Amino acid sequence: MIGTLPLATLFDAADRAERIGVGGDEVLVAAGIIGREAYLRRLAAWLGLQFAALDGEDDRPGDLIPPPQALAAGFVALRRTPSGLLIAAAPQGRRIRDLVQLARTLPATGNTLHLTSPERLEAYVLRHAGRRLAEAAAFDLKRRAPDLSAAVRRGRRHLPAAIGGGIILAALLAAGAAGAVTQIVLSFVFLGWIALRVLALMHADNARPPRLTCPDSDLPRYTIVVPLYREAPMVAPLLAALGALDYPREKLDILLVIEADDAETRAAIEKAGAAPHVRVVVSPAPGPRTKPKALNAALAFARGEHLVVYDAEDRPEPGQLRHAVAAFREGGPALACVQARLAIENARDGWLTRLFAGEYAGQFDVLLPMVTAHHLPLPLGGTSNHFRADVLRRVGGWDAFNVTEDADLGIRLARFGWQTGLIASTTWEEAPRRLPAWLRQRTRWFKGWMQTWLVHMRRPRRLLGELGLTGFLAFQLMIGGSVLSALVHPLFVLVLALHAAEGFATASGGVGVLLAGLTVATLTFGYLTSAALALAGLGRRRLLSIGWVAATMPVYWLLLSAAAWRAAWQLAVDPFHWEKTEHGLALTSVRQAGAPEDERKRDGRRIGGDVLAGKAG
């Protein structure tokens, strides 16, 4: 108990609390010196207040059903009494100072206020409002803005099949002018997609990490959300990577989101002995079993001013949270989200991982810097998205029915007038080594991009007004163009093969020669641009030694096309199915070789190593 702690420990805790801007209780709890409930029980006794266990007959809510917002607020109304509402509060940090002042100035506080622990308050709210929380996680966006949710299909169940059939019929069966016009239109869409990448190659990426001038005392509380499903082997290395973050642990709020039937992952978390600032949230059963639904479930528990999403295999650079805070402060109140750059750690595992690494390097180190520099809508990557938590709640969180919830949310933020930025900090990820795993993952991505395009194109004129002409065209090329180019690519290859078989000079006269030339130009420039984008990104990552894989881009494009057509079929018959990507299979690592010098020096080093912080390890 607090009364038995050495005076020197209390002075040390008070000193650290003052330096980093938290309460002394948070320092003691984070260091493992005292449990939070033990602290609050002793505090209640000292203030002459009752400690509410919230697990007995007297704690039934009656007509005061706790709202989901109670989880983040840290207090809940229990029942009505002659003196007014009886409140159970779970104060932490500097709120305790306000509570002490209140108890001293209002002696009758004990009649209207009880203390409890955050864990007991959460259990109470889940027991009495769990159904509301579950339904909100799955269906809140659909209820609030049905036009922005993929759950509302509006009779388009067979649209992907119709589009695919139309493309095939137009390309192969249409005669004369109809077939020529179709091919020309598709070629120009494809060429627009290429032009966007050429502009990115011409853009100089002068991004530098923002100035990290914010002292620890001014750092905001940060929530880290990690959705886990069948990730037991990844728990220990994940917690180690999060523990290496250069951020005061007293200001971290880490939420590990698991499924109710995932006993192995839960057991792995318990075995790892997670720190006090790590909590487990169980994703509710109603609705689809998807990552965005799990993220929505966690959002109700989030206590941080900022929130970031990581995946189980992610290894963020230690300074990433500080970089994000600095970016938010430099970017002003309109900046709602910043995306860290993703890179492939196991790039040397094989041909697929090398291509994946080139693709990611081109995307995050070449294309997206140009996109954010011109304030275009940014389809977010699936991880390392840093948000202002209040804005995230205002725009409806994630769409539980969209299997690329990240891309959808990035476009939705832009439609609501918020800006998204890119920070010069890396998160290292693991790419699938084997083709079946790669195909399942890429199918899910294409399916989600199709969902995203269909959702936001429900009202094209409204979308044009919200994004502006440049943003509207960028959306069409980055989302719609990526999908369409993958779908039509094998048809262009087939048309080219037919022209070659007939002989380019005699193929249907002058029109045939023109179409053949357009096909050759489209495919050639597409391959070359994709290869150049990958090589430019690999160069910036200091990984040009694997750049030879760019020569195999035509084969890779055929694989992308296979995934896109598989996605179109799934969208028609099983739109919300989430194909899980297995992690923990990497054989090699380029992280140390590819990291900047200052990050290499800090990698793996735990920050804040004073006496108190060291006791928590």
Q: Is the pLDDT of residue 440 over 50?
A: yes
Q: Is the pLDDT of residue 172 over 90?
A: no
Instruction: Tell me the pLDDT band of 407, cut-offs 50, 70 and 90.
Output: very high
User: Given strand 84-89, what is the order of strands in its sheet?
Assistant: 50-51, 113-115, 84-89, 75-81
Does residue 615 register a pLDDT over 90? no
pLDDT band (50, 70, 90) for residue 414: very high
Phi first, then psi: give them for residue 53, nearest 5 degrees: -75, -25
The verdict on residue 41 lying in a domain is yes
Give the residue numbers spanning the domain of 74. 35-139
Q: pLDDT, tens digit, for every residue of 175-228?
A: 455 566 777 777 778 888 888 999 999 988 766 666 667 889 999 999 999 999
What does the pLDDT read at residue 173? 43
Q: Quick check: is 123 in a domain?
A: yes
- Examine the pLDDT at 489 and tell me if it is beyond 70: yes
Q: What percent of the chain has pLDDT over 90?
A: 55
Q: Which long-range contacts (CB under 8 A, 24 or more apart) does 103-106 make?
A: 103/47, 103/48, 103/49
- Does the pLDDT at position 432 exceed 60? yes
- Domain assignment present for residue 83? The answer is yes
The answer to whether 308 and 224 are in contact (CB under 8 A) is yes
Confidence of residue 57 (pLDDT cuts 50, 70, 90): low
Q: What is the total count of domains within the chain?
A: 1
Measured distance CA(219)–CA(598) in Å, rounded? 22
Instruction: Report DSSP state, residue 55.
Output: -
Give the C-alpha separation, 403 to 576, whole Å: 7
Does the structure show a pLDDT above 50 at 174?
Answer: no
Q: What is the pLDDT of residues 153-165, one digit of tens each?
A: 755 455 555 555 5
Q: Which of 33-47, 115-129, 375-389 has the highest mean pLDDT?
A: 375-389
pLDDT band at 335 (very low <50, low <70, confident <90, very high): very high
Q: pLDDT per residue over 317-333, tens digit each?
A: 999 999 999 999 999 99
* Chain segment 115-132, per-residue pLDDT in tens: 999 999 888 888 888 888
In a domain, 62, yes or no: yes
Task: Give 68's pLDDT tier (boundaries 50, 70, 90).
Answer: confident
Between 450 and 54, residue with greater pLDDT: 450
pLDDT at 81: 76
Q: Which residue has the higher pLDDT, 310 or 111?
A: 310
Q: Is 75 helix (H, G, I), strand (E, B) or coil?
A: strand
Domain annotation covers residue 154:
no
What is the chain's alpha carbon radius of gyration, rounded to the nearest angstrom?
27
Which residues on neighbouring strands pair with residue 523, listed in sequence order? none
pLDDT at 599: 43
Q: How far apart are CA 258 and CA 269, in angstroms?
A: 10
Sign of CA dihedral 118, 121, 127, 132: negative
Residue whose pair of structure tokens reads 């769409």 in the numeric block: 399
Assess if residue 107 is contained within a domain. yes
% of the chain with per-residue pLDDT over 70: 85
3-state secondary structure of 508: coil
- Dihedral angle over CA of 308, 314, 315, 317, nearest 10: -30
How distant is the alpha carbon of residue 429 from its chain centre?
Answer: 13
Average pLDDT over residues 277-291: 90
